[in-house]
Amino acid sequence: MIQHSSSSFPQPNRWPLLAALAAAAFAPLLITPAAEAHMKGMFKTRQEAEKRAAELKCKGTFAMGSPWMPCANEQALHKALQNN
């Protein structure tokens, strides 16, 4: 019977690397349409958000943290996106 000697070098745990690769590959598939709309509806300036509001035929803008979004509020934005 042949016995294999174990290497003196530790073998790395490959599961974290495989998990990270799988997450990177499938992450784009996990973005919902609502989340995608939010990402496309965020603007650096109020003026950019106002321009998009005019295109969506809604009024006003609102801040979502530091980015600006078109329409008076989130509910109005979702309604305008559905009608567009």
> How confident is the model over 8-31, as pLDDT tens digits?
666 667 777 767 776 667 666 566
AA identity, residue 3: Q
The runs of H, that is alpha helices, within 1-84 are 15-26, 33-40, 46-56, 74-83
pTM of the model as a whole: 0.56
Tokens in use for 71? 């329409």
pLDDT at 51: 95
pLDDT at 17: 72
pLDDT at 55: 94
Which residues of the chain register pLDDT less than 70?
1-12, 18, 22-24, 26-40
Helices 46-56 and 74-83 pack at an angle, to 10 degrees, of 40
Domain positions in the chain? 42-84
